Structure 1
C-alpha cells in the first residue's frame, strides 16, 4: 500500500503510530539537546546561574524566531497534504517551492533585525546589565543561522507531509545527536561559553537544511523541489499564510508570555527567578515535546482525510491522539512531583536557584495532564482549514486567559502567583476547547446524516 492510499485506508491506530512515533522521537531528542544546551550552560564555572538567566531572557526572542519557522512550515506542509489527498501532485510541488521562498524571505528580514536591534530587543525582553552579555552571545549566532534554519525546517516538515515520516525524524535525531557531541567541544574545549552552545545548534540546523534539500532535489522523494517553483506566488502564499496564522499566533503567544513573565518575574524575584522559570519551562518541554510530535503526526492524517472527505477518520485520529497525550503528560506530572530535585538538578547546582525552581514546578506544572486537549484541539481545527477557530483556541492558553491572570494574581500572591497563573489558564483553555470540539463533531454528524 503506497503512502497516500494508506492515509485514506489504513487503521487510524497504525497510522498514528507510523506518523507520530518518528515525530515524537525527533521532538524528544530535540528536547534532549535543548536540555543539554541549558545543562552545559548552567554548569559553566562561576557564571552558570547568570548564564542560564541570560538564556532565559532569549526565550521570547527565540520563540518568535521559531514562530516564523514553525508556522510557515506547518502552513506549507498542511497544504501539501491536502493537495496530495486531492490527488494534485503538481500543485503540491508548487506549494513546496513557495514555502521555501517565504521562509528564505522571512529569515533574511529576521537576520537584518538581529544585526541592528539585538541589544535593544534583549533589554525589552528582561535583560539586565548582568545578563545582557550572555543573551547577546547566544542570539547573535542563532540569528546568523536563520537563513538556512527556516528553509531547512520547512523542507523537513514537507518530507513528513509527503508520506516519509521516518526520514524526517531520522534527520532531526541525527542532527540532535551531533549537537550533543558539539556542545561540550565548543563550550568547554574551545572555551566559547554560551556562544559555543549556539554554534553547535546552528551547525546542526545547517545539516538538516542540506540533507532535506538533497532529498527533494537528488533524492528519492515523491515531490521535487524545482527552481522554477521557488518564488513568492501570491495564490499559494495566501493558502500557506491562512493555515500558518494559527501556529504563528500560538508560537508568538509563547514568546509574548515569556516577555510578560520575564518582566513580572524580574519584579517579584529578580534575575534568578527568570533562571528558575527557564528550568521549569525546560522540564515541562521534556514531556510536551511528545505531544507536539503527536500533533505533527495527527496533522498529516487529518489534513489528508479532510481533503479526501473522510470526517469520521479525522475525528477518530484526534480522539486517539488526545488519549495518548493525556497518558504521556500524566506520567510526566507524576515523575516531576516524585523527583523534583532530580529534574531541577539537570540545570543548576546553585542552591538558591534550585529552591526557586522546585517551588515553581510544584505549582506551575500541576495541570500538565490537561494541556494535550488544548494543544491538539487547536491543531485539529488548523488541519481541517478552520483557521479562525484554531487561532482563537491557540491563543486561549497562552494569551487570552494567561496574560490577564499573570498580571493580576502576583499582585496578591507575589512570586507564587506567577507560578500559579499557568495552571489557571490551562483549566480555562481546556474547558473552552472541549466545548468547541463537541460542537464541531455534532455539526459533522448532522451533515453526514443529511447526505
Structure 2
C-alpha cells in the first residue's frame, strides 16, 4: 500500500541530509585540532578532549531545546500560527543565553575542580586551567549557533545551517593553525572564541533574513 512520493522524499532529504552532514563535521574538527595541538605537547590534546566532554555537558540543555523546538516551530509554521513561532523563538533564545552564561560562570570559578573530574594532574592541569577559562567564553556563541540552526531547520532552511557548520570547520582549523604558528598553546585556545563569534554572527544574519521574509 505504500508508494514513494518524490516530492515528499525530496522534502525529507532537503531537511535531513544537511543535518546528517553537520553531525559528521564535529569528528573532523576534533581530528584537525588534535593534530595542531600535538605540535606543542601531548598534554594539549588531552585538555582539548576534556573540554569537549565538559562542553557537551553544558550544551546538553541546548541540544534538548534544539531537538524539541524543531517540532514545535514546524507544526506551528505548517498551521500558520506565526505569533506562537515568535514566542517560541524568544523563549528559546532567553533560555539559551541564561544556560550558557551559567556554564561560563562555572568554568571561570572552578576550572581545576572540573579538571579533577578527569583526574587531571601535572601539565594537563596547568594547561587545562588556562584553557577552560579562555574557551568557556564561546558558550554563549555556541548556544546561539545551535538554537538558531534549529530555527532555520524548522523553517525549511537546513542548507543555511550546513553552510555555518562548514564555515565553522574551515575557520576553526585555519585560525588555530595561524595562532599555533605565531604563539603558544595558550594562544591557540583563542581560535575557539574567534570562530564561534564569527559563526554566531553568520547564523544570526541568516536567521534575520529568514525571520523577516517568513514571519
TM over 0.5: yes
State the secondary structure of the residue aligned to 1:245. helix
Report the Cα distance in structure 2 between the residues aligned to 1:442 and 1:237, rounded to whole angstroms. Answer: 28
Question: TM-score, structure 2 length as denominator?
Answer: 0.90
**What are the residue-to-residue correspondences of 1:317-332 with 2, within 5 Å?**
317-332=88-103
**What are the residue-to-residue correspondences of 1:35-434 with 2, within 5 Å?**
235=6, 237-270=9-42, 272-396=43-167, 398-434=168-204
Report the Cα distance in structure 2 between the residues aligned to 1:395 and 1:315, rounded to whole angstroms. Answer: 28
1:319-370 alpha-carbon deviations (Å, 9 max, x no partner): 2111101100101100111011110100124322222221211111123122
- Contact map agreement 1:249 1:391 (CA 8 A) in 2: yes
Q: How has the CA–CA distance of structure 1 residues 313 and 261 changed in structure 2, closer, same or farther, with 3 Å as cutoff?
A: same
- Measured after TM superposition, the shift of residue 234 of structure 1 is 7.7
Report the Cα distance in structure 2 between the residues aligned to 1:376 and 1:423, rounded to whole angstroms. Answer: 18
User: Relative contact order: is structure 1 or structure 2 higher (C-alpha 8 Å, sep ≥ 6)?
Assistant: 2
- Structure-2 residue corresponding to 1:140: none
Tell which structure's C-alpha radius of gyration is larger: 1
Unpaired stretches in structure 1, ≥5 consecutive residues: 1-227, 446-451
Unpaired stretches in structure 2, ≥5 consecutive residues: none
- Measured after TM superposition, the shift of residue 303 of structure 1 is 1.2
1:353-412 alpha-carbon deviations (Å, 9 max, x no partner): 22222121111112312222111111111112212222213333x314222212222111
Give the 4+ runs in structure 1 shifted more than 6 A: none
- Contact map agreement 1:276 1:357 (CA 8 A) in 2: yes
- Measured after TM superposition, the shift of residue 313 of structure 1 is 2.1
Report the Cα distance in structure 2 between the residues aligned to 1:234 and 1:350, rounded to whole angstroms. Answer: 58
- Measured after TM superposition, the shift of residue 436 of structure 1 is 1.9
Report the Cα distance in structure 2 between the residues aligned to 1:374 and 1:411, rounded to whole angstroms. Answer: 28
State the secondary structure of the residue aligned to 2:119. coil
Q: How has the CA–CA distance of structure 1 residues 380 and 400 changed in structure 2, closer, same or farther, with 3 Å as cutoff?
A: farther
State the secondary structure of the residue aligned to 1:267. coil
- Structure-2 residue corresponding to 1:25: none
Report the Cα distance in structure 1 between the residues aligned to 2:179 and 2:45, rounded to whole angstroms. Answer: 18
- Structure-1 residue corresponding to 2:205: 435
State the secondary structure of the residue aligned to 1:385. coil
1:242-269 alpha-carbon deviations (Å, 9 max, x no partner): 2122322322221111011011011122
- Contact map agreement 1:378 1:394 (CA 8 A) in 2: no
Q: How many pairs align?
A: 214
Report the Cα distance in structure 2 between the residues aligned to 1:408 and 1:242, rounded to whole angstroms. Answer: 35
Report the Cα distance in structure 1 between the residues aligned to 2:157 and 2:175, rounded to whole angstroms. Answer: 28
Report the Cα distance in structure 2 between the residues aligned to 1:377 and 1:394, rounded to whole angstroms. Answer: 12
